[in-house]
Amino acid sequence: MSEKLVGQPLVRKEDPRLLRGDGRYVDDLGRGALAAAFVRSPNAHARIADIDVTDALDVEGLVAVYTYEDLPGRVAEPLPLLIPHPDLTHPRTPYCLAKDEVNHVGEAVVMVVATDRYVAEDAAERIVVTYEDLPPVVGIDQARAAQRLVHDEVPGNIAARSVQTNGKGDAQEAIAAAPHRLSLDLQIERSASMPMEGKGVLAHWDADDRTLRVHTSTQTSTSVRLAVAAKLELPPDRVEVITPDVGGGFGVKIMHPWPEEILVPWAAMKLGQDVKWVEDRREHFISSAHERGQQQHVEVGFDSDGRLCGLSVEIWHDNGAYVPYGIIVPIVTSTQLLGPYKVGAYRVEFTSLYTNTVIVTPYRGAGRPQGVFAMERTMDAIAEYLGLDRLAVREANLIQPEEMPYDQGLVFQDGRPLIYDSGDYPTMLRMIRELVGWDGFEAERAAAAAEGRRIGIGIGAYVEGTGMGPYEGAHVKVETTGEIVVSTGLTTQGQGHYTSLAQIAADVLGVGVADVTVITGDTRRFKYAVGTFASRAIVTSGNAVAVAAGKVAEKAKRIAAAALGGGADPADLELVDGTVRRRDDPTASIDLRTVAVLSNPLRYAFDEAAKAATQFAAAVGTGDEPGLEATGYYMPERSTFAAGAHGVVVETDPETADIRILRYCVVHDCGVVVNPRIVEGQVHGGVAQGVGGALYERIVYDDAGQLVNASYMDFLIPFATEVPHIQTAHMVTASGVNPLGLKGAGEAGVIPTSAAVASAIEDAEGLSVRRMPISPSELYELRKTRTTRETRKEQVSA
Amino acid sequence: MTEQLHQITVTVNGVTRRGETPARRLLADFLRMDLGLTGTHLGCEHGVCGACTVLLDDVPVRSCLIFAVSVDGHAITTVEGCCDPGGELGPVQQAFQECHGLQCGFCTPGFITTITAYLEENPKPTEEEAREAIGGNLCRCTGYQNIVAAVLRAAEILNETQIKSEREAPHE
């Protein structure tokens, strides 16, 4: 048997195409299609008094102008609430085009269709919308104060309020009874996914066939298909949604349907011509989702070893103007905040608040970076209070491997119990201690101080629920050419599924990855899927591919046993090197491609494979199905929990307060690894986004609700010069939930970065960091308010 | 009003291309829409991200900041032109695959063109220089570490190819 492909760092099958410039992203398709552009609200909160399109009508090449009044039937209804929740008592979702009122800068008001994008923008520019300004609600403070309302009929701007406890006693009582108590007020600012490719939609209506084909840059083509069918009142079987190459997602493209995903297909049907819309960068800033913005109040009680007795957390979450994606982000923060720790009695309450800003839906990490920030700041505060080592305090609170599976006593984002399936957190902390050089750091600090340099070390640990259900599926087919075609419904946006899923299928079928072609996100090929988000793709689709490929292998053995004769039992056969053969007599063998021919009872000798098969009389038995193919699904009972710890060393400039990362280390456990090269890349990318979130990236709104840094000039995504070299170490605790033992890896890198960097800055500066991101000027200001740890800081700078 | 069209002649990836374009059409749009060379991508349309980088007479430029009419008579190299003459992956492209220097692939063409020009200028960069060389292009997926490695690997491949071709060349 050849060596297993799962676990090997293979180079990616998809790369040559992308490297030659032969990728096909949505804007590379549909040459000659009409182009759509949108008139978007320049106001954060206003009533629409009038829309005057007269001037636009003179523009040569204009095809159509649509406002809310033009929208028919279900297109005119508010967009759906994707994930309702009993605590989401006041859900509000937007219309495809604003009806009477706008609630954030960037909300679409008028759609223009023209012969090309230049002309469409010419026309859009000439449309005059008259607004009556309403007072905007900007930021969590204003939302909480509720002096002004985003939606008149939503009291207190409160979309949802939710409380969870872990069933381990009353948290307030436990805190009150604890030997020591602390409270912290924390804040994380807004950021955004910012994929390099924005959103885009291309629609083609075949009036003769009554079929609608939509290409969209999404993280879920199957679900967009159902949304489009419902909105346009078409039978789902008349709608095909295809996700072409996608230039990054990071969460923003799991939100769906976006208004444009309904309007563009609707316009294509109405006009009987192909219509395309491609988002420009400014549009992306002001109309695609943001995330992260939260305030938190933490109260904790603990003993003299730093062991937690009780933890109570209040969270105020800014959900923007609407909540079409529900309250997943604050639910994730509330539950994943616990990390690898036992916290005693736990109570968490979140309030999800409307503001007159862009909607908030999951961005890589999806609420976890905020939760980990709260927990890890708390650990550091306890260590500081007790004068203990920060790692020692963490170690005192860890869930032990022998306590797995460990029930945290909460309900997770998937509605299932928050039960950690496996993990070895003490080993994880031991590894990060070594990797980052924790024990030798005081000598390093002293040496730096001797040169007048100020350095600090920090740490952040997390547990991440991955691979949630409800399911994914796959179809695996062996062609008579020997090619294996694997189709899965979920999409891909850079995670290397064309390679990693091929590795899984190839192992089961005894072929090489070169023989396997993977198709993703095309509803013509596979109709049932959830989507690629929440670090779930390899876990769910990976196991589904194994199930489907396993069925194909069984069928191949059945057919081959009959073909080989000699009393061969299917159980005596194995699939090796593209053949099916007897274990006890490898010369009794038949090519897998020949088995594929035999699997079809009707076989004309169209090709060499069919001719070669004529020597075998056998085919599929009566009662079996033609074709060497099968469909398989994987439905996890619940999520599987990955984990990791980051260690970071920073240097802060004593004069300018510039912050530089000197060393960045990651210990990462995502269970059994399918392709280490790909996992490593995912971790690197996550850390880079984490560094952005810690030091550079923030979405800034002014008091009027204008997004003042809506460009790459002003919203500072790190370049290569800002991202440190990342040292990684991997550990494997196989998942106890799924057959392949996999855990997700997509979001890992970003989760504890802000927490770890804040910890390191605190350590360097001897002051408390309670808010991220932090810029040099903010650190400079923070130094002026220094109240704690004066003494050691003086020693360091001396 | 009908937009006035301007005749332009541009050598793109070694091939002379003629086109008619309005004065305001961006070079990126001309390459993508008129010539069908969709390997050049638009990430920000304000000159920061670098995804649209092409070589104008061998110098990297942002094709989202240049009008097509202004390159009349000049030579352009796009990512499609960075392949080997036989159509195989060129040295920089090959290095990107080996080092896993790309994930979604959207920013990649801008890196490929930028690095191709850079290695002409500096065939043996240090790691620090390699990082600096790509410091004008944004990537949201990779964290850059493997792109830095790809710059160094591409330099190696180019060097190996050069040594090989020198050895194979007839001695005088």
Q: What would the pLDDT profile of A47-91 be if each residue is shown by its tens digit?
A: 999 999 999 999 999 999 999 999 999 999 999 999 999 999 999
Give the separation between CA A173 and CA B84, rounded to whole angstroms. 72
Contacts of B2 in chain A (CB under 8 A): 60
Is B65 an interface residue toward A (CB < 8 Å)? no
Within 8 A of A664 by CB-CB distance, chain B residues are: none
CA A678 to chain B, closest CA, distance in angstroms equals 8
- Closest Cα in chain B to A58: B1
Chain A partners within 8 Å of B4 (Cβ): none
A689: distance to nearest CA of chain B, Å?
7
In angstroms, rounded to a whole number, what is the distance separating the alpha carbons of residues A438 and A429?
A: 11
Hey, are the CB atoms on B93 and A24 less than 8 Å from each other?
no
Instruction: Give the model's pLDDT for residue A624.
Output: 81
pLDDT above 90: residue A253: yes
Give the integer Cα–Cα distance in Å for A372 and A369: 5
The total number of residues written for chain A in this structure: 798
Beta bridge partners of A35: A114, A276
Distances (CA, A) of A40 to A107, A217, A414, A633: 5, 21, 35, 42
CB A678 within 8 A of CB A684: no
Asked if B110 and B49 touch (Cβ cutoff 8 Å), the reply is: yes
* Interchain CB contact of B28 with A (< 8 Å): no
Q: Are A110 and A97 in contact (CB under 8 A)?
A: yes
Cβ-based contacts under 8 A for chains A and B? 172
Residues A255, A260, A261, A262, Cα dihedral to 10°: 120
Quote the pLDDT of residue B166: 82
Q: In the structure encoding, which two tokens stand for residue A198, read together?
A: 């924005």
CA-atom Rg of chain A in angstroms: 28
d(CA A234, CA A227): 10
Q: In chain B, which among 8-27 make CB contacts under 8 A with chain A? A: 22, 24-25
A247 touches chain B (CB under 8 A): yes
Q: Would the pLDDT of B3 be above 90?
A: no
Q: Report d(CA A649, CA A511) in Å as an integer.
A: 46
Helix (H) or strand (E) holding A65: strand A62-66
Query: Any CB–CB contact under 8 A between B114 and chain A?
Result: no
CB A493 within 8 A of CB A253: yes
| A517, A474 contact by CB (below 8 A) | no
Examine the pLDDT at A798 and tell me if it is beyond 70: no
- Report whether A759 contacts A733 (CB < 8 A): no
Expressed in percent and rounded to 5, the helix, strand and coil fractions of chain A are 30, 25, 40
Hey, of B30, B44, B53, B96, which one would you mutate to test binding to chain A, going by the most A CBs within 10 A of its CB? Answer: B44
Asked if the C-beta of B136 comes within 8 angstroms of chain A's C-beta atoms, the answer is yes
| pLDDT value of residue A795 | 43
How many angstroms separate the CA atoms of A424 and A409, rounded? 19
pLDDT at A653 over 70: yes
CA distances A678 to A494, B108, B110, B169, Å, are 10, 17, 22, 40
Q: How far is CA A664 from its chain centroid? A: 23
Q: Show the tokens assigned to A628.
A: 């060497």
Q: Which residues of chain B lie closer than 8 angstroms to A493, CB-CB?
A: 104
CB contact under 8 A, A28 and B108: no
Which residues of chain A have a CB within 8 Å of the CB of B1?
Answer: 60
- Spatial neighbors of A714 by CB under 8 A, at least 6 apart, are A708
* Cβ within 8 Å, pair A281-B45: yes
Query: Which value does ipTM take for this structure?
Result: 0.97
Is the previous residue joined to A72 through a cis bond, with omega within 30 degrees of 0?
A: no
Give tens-digit pLDDT for A358-372: 999 999 999 999 999
- Residue A793 is predicted with a pLDDT of 40
Token code pair at residue A114: 């023209």
Model confidence at A1: pLDDT above 50: no
Contact B103 A24 (CB under 8 A): no
For chain B positions 143-172, those within 8 Å of chain A (CB to CB) are 143-148
The residue of chain A with its CA nearest to that of B130 is: A720
User: Are A593 and A540 a contacting pair, CB within 8 Å?
Assistant: no
Query: b/e for A393-403, b at 16 or more Cβ within 10 A?
Result: bbbbbbbeeee
User: Which chain A residues touch B144 with a CB distance below 8 Å?
Assistant: 684, 688, 719-720, 723
pLDDT digits (tens, 9 = 90+) for B68-122: 999 999 999 999 999 998 889 999 999 999 999 999 999 999 999 999 999 999 9
- Whole-Å CA distances, A69 to A102, A230, A512, B6: 15, 20, 57, 40
CB–CB contact B96 A15 (8 Å): yes
Q: Which of B78, B100, B106 sits opposite A248 (nearest CB)?
A: B106
Pick from B36, B83, B105: CB nearest A18: B105
- Residues of chain B with pLDDT > 70: what percent? 98
Residue numbers in B near A364 (CB within 8 A): none
Contacts of B15 (CB under 8 A, 6+ apart): none
User: Which positions ≥6 away from A488 have C-beta within 8 Å?
Assistant: A472, A473, A474, A475, A497, A501, A518, A519, A520, A526, A529, A541, A544, A545
Q: How far apart are CA A347 and CA B51, in angstroms?
A: 47
pLDDT at A792: 46
Instruction: Tell me the C-alpha distance between B131 and A721, whole Å.
Output: 6
Q: How far is A561 from chain B (nearest CA, A)?
A: 41
Q: Per-residue pLDDT for A2 more than 80?
A: no
**Measured CA angle at A361 (ends A359, A363), to 5 deg:** 125
Nearest CA in chain A to B90: A20
How far from chain centre, in Å, is Cα A67? Answer: 33
What average pLDDT does the structure give for chain A?
95
What six digits make up the tokens of A151? 């939606």
User: Does the pLDDT at position A265 exceed 90?
Assistant: yes
Mean pLDDT for chain B overall: 95
Over its C-alpha atoms, chain B yields an Rg (Å, rounded) of 17
Whether residue A789 is predicted with pLDDT greater than 80 in this model: the reply is: no
Side-chain-facing half-sphere of A232: CA atoms under 13 Å? 32
Contacts of B12 in chain A (CB under 8 A): none
Length of chain B: 172
The residue type of A119 is: V
Mapped to the 3 state alphabet, what secondary structure does A517-553 carry?
A: EEEECECCCCCCCCCCCCCCHHHHHHHHHHHHHHHHH
Residue-level pLDDT at A568: 86
Q: Is any Cβ of chain B less than 8 angstroms from the Cβ of A55?
A: no
Number of H helices, E strands in chain B: 5, 5
